[in-house]
Structure 1
Amino acid sequence: MIAFAAEAEADALKPSQRKAFYDAYAGRVDVDHHLNEYLTKAGLAEKTVNERRGLIGRFAQWCREKRVKLGRVDRRSAGRYVSEVIDPMHPATQTKHLSALRSYWKFLAQRGHVTLPQGVSLDMGWPWNGQQIEKRGKRVERGSRQETERPFTDDEVAALLDKPFPLNAEFEELMRDVLKISLLSGMRQAEVLTLWVEEVREGESGAGLVFDIQQGKTDAAARKVPVHPDLMEIVERRRRGKGGKEWLFHELADQPNPGDTYGKRFKRWREAVGVDDKREGVRRSLVNFHSARRWFATKADRAGIREAVIKDVIGHVPDKKNVTRASYIAASSGAQMRECVEAVKVG
């Protein structure tokens, strides 16, 4: 029945369109041929859309280099890609990459764009299911403790904010404004970069002006973060003369992936001013933009703010083991969250 329906649909097309139709039906198209359709209908947050476009696009480019079309992607070619590209990644990145590919393949299977082996269900994400190898922890020997990413030190924050800006001068205002907001709010990079003007508004009693974050990576990410007094000049300057749906950071509005653009510039900036921490055997530097968020949480903790309030400000899910906190105690008030934010000072 599917074949008959495909023939009927093809007969309705112009001769010049039929080859493209049959190529798509037979899988003789590039891996990312249906990517825009998938991203449009998946109902994902903007950050996730950009992230998945990059991850799936990376596999599509690998397939182009190997001359593998969509219909030829099978368990063996998927396994080869995992071995060559995904296995060397950090486990968290592996999971994210494979999740994107599984989700795309579920969509392709459900739409009939790929043919599954007999007995494989549409929702398995074949051929990507079961590809990630579980990495079990090794015995920790004396002196071999695994180093983890960390907050900035105060000296590193000073270097970023006070040393002459080493990149193109036209980027300076944007780069410094984004970093300051994260340092004084604990907001994630993507949360800062994608703020609309109308998402800076008056909060509930005691909260004052807030960043109204309405979506994110977890349910707890949607929250209202009080605007620190030291950020008022930045906020007012960036809201001036703009409509509600315009970006606070308009410089990145036309970028296909604002986070990637900012992140690459930030890496060059911090390395140029000596803010780096590479360790033997560790792929990434132990400091990155997320270190600003860690610095904020650390400073709030040192100022005596309760952990539960800090979690509400930075958008962390309450500990599920703490049933009382997770299920019975209401979220922190606007006044409590403002107290947390104002307890943190730069300089």
Structure 2
Amino acid sequence: MPRQRNSARRHLELKRRVWWFKIGVPVAMRGHFGGKTHYRENLQTGDIREAMARRDQVERDTRSLFRQIEAGKVVSAATLSARERGTIWREALVDLRHADDHAEEGELTAYDVAVSAAEEEAERLRGKDRKEFAAAFAGKVPIDEHLETYLKAIKLADKTTNERRGLVKRFARWCDQEGLKLPDINRRAVGRYVTDAIEPMDRSTAKKHLTALRGYWDYLTLRGHVDGKVVGGRAIDSPWLGQTLPDNKRRIERGDNETERAFTTKELQALLYTDYPEEMDTEFRQQIEDALRISCLTGMRLAEVVTLWVEEVHDDLFDIQQGKTISAARRVPIHPDLKEIVERRTKDKTPKDWLFHELAKERDPGDTFGKRFKRYRKSLRVNDVREGKRRSLVNFHSARKWFITAARHAGQPLETIKDIVGHKPNKKEITFGVYTKGASAEQMRACVEAVKLPQPPLAG
């Protein structure tokens, strides 16, 4: 019987106790790789499990590069700018330096040869080209130099991607004003930025800002754009580590506990039963009414509601296949009061059609609908803006919060509510967090059906 290839170690090669990624270069593309038959990248770890995790990401990036070359979107090395060539040389030397850590003292290594070759290329350049090559080779590039590559690698939802782009670029603008390049960012510089820009922010915004910058720095360190050690995909000596926000206030002032909240009964009655605003386009009326009811009676997030496919509505369930977290993939029973909406929106449609077909061609359906709903609720004076707060304390997400509150008030178990809305189980609570597989279908249906929309307000 022929020996089966160990797929777990595919594209992995062990050299001097360090794992490398290795993949064959298609014949038609070898000119882009200096005629090499194989492409290699140092994974900078001797741990096989960590190597396999890093291998998977590098493999995706490399195959994406192959597709871009095949489509003519990537030019050959000969047409690269001096700055791009300097960056490539820097990244190559980072890989070679780690690979030669175990070389004998005095031994001529591949790293030494590469340094000489890079210096020779710099000598051939003149004027502005030489300066740009030298700056890139030294890593003296703007903070957001590798931002788009990073965002492509992490593959977040469009809204989150745009949010992270904006947060990193805000830091990049501050660094530009301060005359700081990538190698200049140390704990002192980061501390100044946290004090100047992040601490004055609303606390939730500040946490998002720190999270975005920590994630970007982990990527920069992993790819060798900044110096540092990486363990488990995290930069253990990142200047962003430990940059927590002070939380030493003893006294609570008015407004300190004001956070985004669920709709009140009166607000939800206004949204459900008030006449449609005359100033709004009537073509949006049905989608707003339907989406609001679905979220209120399922606890589904905005993006989950408006991007459902018809084939994901079956067996009296919303079968959610994608979302914000791993826990977002779940099945939610369809509330009896939603059956008319579901029947109307699935009628005469194919499995791949959208339940909210009117949003299918929008570049960002969630953002587009969110803006429409914002105009709708503000027209009905359902708004709660407080001093010092950037956003209203009520928005479409308040429907999800209302469902959770209503289910709790109806006496439903916390664990069942979490399963319905797609919240992560508490791993610290061993019994429910580790040993159970979640609520039963009967428990989830009972929980959903325990929630009832408020009745219309009495006339007069």
TM-score range for the pair, normalised by the shorter chain length? 0.7 to 0.9
CA contact (8 A) 2:141 2:181 kept: yes
- Structure 1 residues 268, 45: CA separation in 2 closer, same or farther (over 3 Å shift)? closer
- Structure 1 residues 140, 85: CA separation in 2 closer, same or farther (over 3 Å shift)? closer
User: Are 2:334 and 1:251 aligned?
Assistant: no
User: Are 2:248 and 1:136 aligned?
Assistant: yes
Q: Which residue is 1:157 aligned to?
A: 268
- Structure 1 residues 106, 319: CA separation in 2 closer, same or farther (over 3 Å shift)? closer
Higher-RCO chain (CA-CA 8 Å, sequence separation at least 6): 1
**1:160 & 1:24 partners in 2: Cα distance?**
55
The structural deviation recorded for 1:45 is 5.7
The structural deviation recorded for 1:182 is 1.1
User: Are 2:314 and 1:221 aligned?
Assistant: no
The structural deviation recorded for 1:243 is 5.3
Q: Which residue is 1:121 aligned to?
A: 229
**1:294 & 1:254 partners in 2: Cα distance?**
26
CA contact (8 A) 2:260 2:398 kept: yes
**Residues 78-97 of structure 1 mapped to structure 2, 5 A cutoff:** 78-97=190-209
- Structure 1 residues 35, 140: CA separation in 2 closer, same or farther (over 3 Å shift)? closer
The structural deviation recorded for 1:224 is 0.7
The structural deviation recorded for 1:135 is 1.2
Task: Choose the corresponding residue for 1:176, options 272, 283, 289.
Answer: 289
One-letter amino acid matched to 1:251 = L
- Structure 1 residues 147, 96: CA separation in 2 closer, same or farther (over 3 Å shift)? closer
Q: Which residue is 1:103 aligned to?
A: 215
The structural deviation recorded for 1:192 is 2.5
Task: Choose the corresponding residue for 2:319, options 211, 219, 241.
Answer: 211
**2:118 & 2:339 partners in 1: Cα distance?**
58
**1:259 & 1:22 partners in 2: Cα distance?**
44
Give the secondary structure class of the aligned counterpart of 1:211.
strand
CA contact (8 A) 1:102 1:128 kept: yes
- Structure 1 residues 214, 237: CA separation in 2 closer, same or farther (over 3 Å shift)? same
CA contact (8 A) 1:27 1:72 kept: no
Q: Which residue is 2:311 aligned to?
A: 198
One-letter amino acid matched to 2:421 = I
CA contact (8 A) 1:185 1:313 kept: yes
User: Are 2:338 and 1:338 aligned?
Assistant: no
The structural deviation recorded for 1:94 is 2.0
The structural deviation recorded for 1:56 is 2.3
**2:451 & 2:181 partners in 1: Cα distance?**
53
Per-residue CA shift, 1:147-171, capped at 9, x if unaligned?
A: 4433211221122233423544454
**2:222 & 2:370 partners in 1: Cα distance?**
35
One-letter amino acid matched to 1:185 = T
Unaligned runs of 5+ in 2: 1-92, 95-110, 456-460
| Bigger Cα Rg | 2
The structural deviation recorded for 1:127 is 3.0
Task: Choose the corresponding residue for 2:165, options 25, 28, 53.
Answer: 53
Per-residue CA shift, 1:256-295, capped at 9, x if unaligned?
A: x554444444334323311123445666543232221121
TM-score, normalising length from structure 1?
0.76
The structural deviation recorded for 1:244 is 2.3
- Structure 1 residues 247, 96: CA separation in 2 closer, same or farther (over 3 Å shift)? farther
**2:405 & 2:144 partners in 1: Cα distance?**
42
Give the secondary structure class of the aligned counterpart of 2:262.
coil
One-letter amino acid matched to 2:319 = F
- Structure 1 residues 174, 24: CA separation in 2 closer, same or farther (over 3 Å shift)? farther
TM-score, normalising length from structure 2?
0.60
Give the secondary structure class of the aligned counterpart of 2:423.
coil
Per-residue CA shift, 1:228-277, capped at 9, x if unaligned?
A: 2333444455555455286846626543x554444444334323311123
Task: Choose the corresponding residue for 1:146, options 238, 245, 257.
Answer: 257
The structural deviation recorded for 1:106 is 1.9
Give the secondary structure class of the aligned counterpart of 1:146.
coil
**1:170 & 1:7 partners in 2: Cα distance?**
67
CA contact (8 A) 1:194 1:248 kept: yes
CA contact (8 A) 1:102 1:129 kept: yes
- Structure 1 residues 96, 280: CA separation in 2 closer, same or farther (over 3 Å shift)? closer
Give the secondary structure class of the aligned counterpart of 2:204.
helix
CA contact (8 A) 2:287 2:356 kept: no
Q: Which residue is 1:189 aligned to?
A: 302
One-letter amino acid matched to 1:339 = A
One-letter amino acid matched to 1:183 = C
- Structure 1 residues 281, 36: CA separation in 2 closer, same or farther (over 3 Å shift)? closer
One-letter amino acid matched to 1:85 = A
CA contact (8 A) 1:201 1:210 kept: yes
One-letter amino acid matched to 2:167 = L
One-letter amino acid matched to 1:33 = E
Give the secondary structure class of the aligned counterpart of 1:299.
helix
